[in-house]
Amino acid sequence: MGEHPILTRRRLLGLFGAAATLPVLSACGSSVGGGDTGSGGSGGGGGGAVKVGLVVPQSGVYAALGTDLQRGWELWLNQNGGKFGDRTVETVIADEGEGPPTGVPAVQKVLQSDGVDVVVGLVNSATALGVKDTLAEAKKLLIVTNAGAEDVTRAQRTPYIWRSSFTNGQIAAAMGTHLASSGFKEAVYVIAPDYAAGKEVITGFTNAFQAGGGTVISSVLTPFGTTTDYQPFLTGIQQSGAKATFCFYSGAEAIAFVKQYQQFGLSSTIPLYGSGFLTEGSVLTQQADAALGVQTTLHYSDQLDNPANTAFVQAYKDAYGGESPSCFSVQSYDAANVLNRALATATALDGDALSTALGGIGTVDDSPRGPWEFENQTPKQNIYLRKVENVGGTFVNAVVQDLGPQSQPAA
């Protein structure tokens, strides 16, 4: 992993896509609605309380992402009187850490020791898959607010796990479809880090691009978390005859790849495209001019021009010292929103009742990301084509085009 210039918390907040490769910063552990007061709520309908276990990273490489997730959750509750309908919400926060060795016990703790009614959170896909049996035994619902692995809502789908975020292939496939349908079918070089999310991104993009008649000239996986010098790979791109590059990187790797891509002279001759985590949030601060013109797809940009997002961005900045929200903030904000909607009709607080209620909420029409709906328990949502621009000295992911609603890719 490469060295990082000046790692402030502000800069770290945006450095996490489907993976993270950065040093840690602690997230605060405050809870909403008071401390542990005993057993969770019971029954559906009016009054009472609902206890939620918010399991997000507070330590390890994902800690800064956990801060964003916690902030989105708390902002929704603060805007709604700390309630879902007429039910008071009590949030118990547990540290997911970096993966299943810490994340699975954290989920077990909030279910068994804290007696929560619902679990919300999880960054790590292996953790989400690893708690399936625990949730089924407890008959409790989990709303995943990040983990992007396809299997969470595909091959290993369970009625107790829903998702308010994205899938890795969904984001990448949107770019593949867009490029092919807009007439660009020439040779594209595809490159990503060698781990599960990178492979899913390559598959998602390649399948969609080739289905539209596009040609992938080469697919390359780079050593994950250890590559700091991309020159050998950039030489390969330059010599391949590629007309464009599609990549997936996040965090420190995104900064290094984008900077070196420009320094190598490729940005002016072979346009760079990617999944939105390549330029999401504060990575742009360090990519700076090197990222200008880079186009990505993602389900959110703080530049989206809709009433819900305008209000959300302003409220978020007011609450958190002027910092802009990320897609992670939106994902947990929307988890609160859909739980609120489900509880309005749920006959009880158990996982079966809540799962049934979530399946009937229809379109979420007041989300900062734009309207979306559950399909196979994961968002069918609009994906946006974004282009990095310098607006008054600030680098932003300007929204170029709404690519319309996109489903999770078929297996």
pLDDT tens sequence across 325-381: 999 999 999 999 999 999 999 999 999 999 999 999 999 999 999 999 999 999 999
Q: What is the span of the domain harbouring residue 185?
A: 169-298+383-406
Strands 187-193 and 394-406: unpaired
Q: Please state, in angstroms and rounded to a whole number, the distance separating the CA atoms of residues 335 and 159.
A: 16
Give the whole-number percent of the chain exceeding pLDDT 90: 77
Enumerate the β-bridge partners of residue 398.
387
Q: Is residue 216 part of a domain?
A: yes
Q: Please state, in angstroms and rounded to a whole number, the distance separating the CA atoms of residues 275 and 297.
A: 5
Does residue 400 share a domain with residue 285? yes
List phi, psi (to 5°) of 394. -115, 130
Q: Is 30 left (phi over 0), alpha (psi -120 to 50) or beta?
A: beta
Does residue 206 share a domain with residue 157? no
What value does the mean pLDDT take over residues 311-322? 97
What value does the mean pLDDT take over residues 89-113? 96
The number of folded domains in the chain is 2
Does residue 284 share a domain with residue 401? yes
Contact assessment for residue 118 and residue 49, using Cβ atoms and an 8 Å cutoff: no
Does residue 199 share a domain with residue 161? no
Residue spans of alpha helices (H) in 80-223: 100-112, 125-130, 132-138, 168-181, 196-211
Q: Please state, in angstroms and rounded to a whole number, the distance separating the CA atoms of residues 216 and 294.
A: 19
Confidence band, pLDDT 50/70/90 cuts, at residue 46: low
Strands 49-56 and 87-95: parallel
Does residue 181 share a domain with residue 46? no
Does residue 242 share a domain with residue 122? no
pLDDT tens sequence across 138-197: 999 999 999 999 999 999 999 999 999 999 999 999 999 999 999 889 899 999 999 888
Does residue 268 share a domain with residue 396? yes
Does residue 309 share a domain with residue 195? no
Q: Is residue 14 part of a domain?
A: no
Does residue 63 share a domain with residue 139? yes
Does residue 352 share a domain with residue 279? no
Q: Is residue 21 part of a domain?
A: no
Q: Is residue 320 part of a domain?
A: yes
Does residue 130 share a domain with residue 41? yes
**What is the signed CA dihedral for 172, 173, 175, 176, rounded to 10 degrees?**
120
77 or 32: which leads in pLDDT? 77
- Amino acid 384 reads Y
Q: Is residue 411 part of a domain?
A: no
Q: Is residue 1 part of a domain?
A: no
Q: Please state, in angstroms and rounded to a whole number, the distance separating the CA atoms of residues 51 and 38.
A: 9
Confidence band, pLDDT 50/70/90 cuts, at residue 286: confident
Does residue 390 share a domain with residue 264? yes
Indicate which CATH number applies to the domain containing 265.
Answer: 3.40.50.2300
Cα angle value 4/9/10 (rounded, 5°): 100
What value does the mean pLDDT take over residues 42-64? 80
Query: Exposed/middle/buried for 28, CB within 10 Å: 0-12, 13-18, 19+?
Result: exposed
Q: Is residue 205 part of a domain?
A: yes
Q: Is residue 17 part of a domain?
A: no
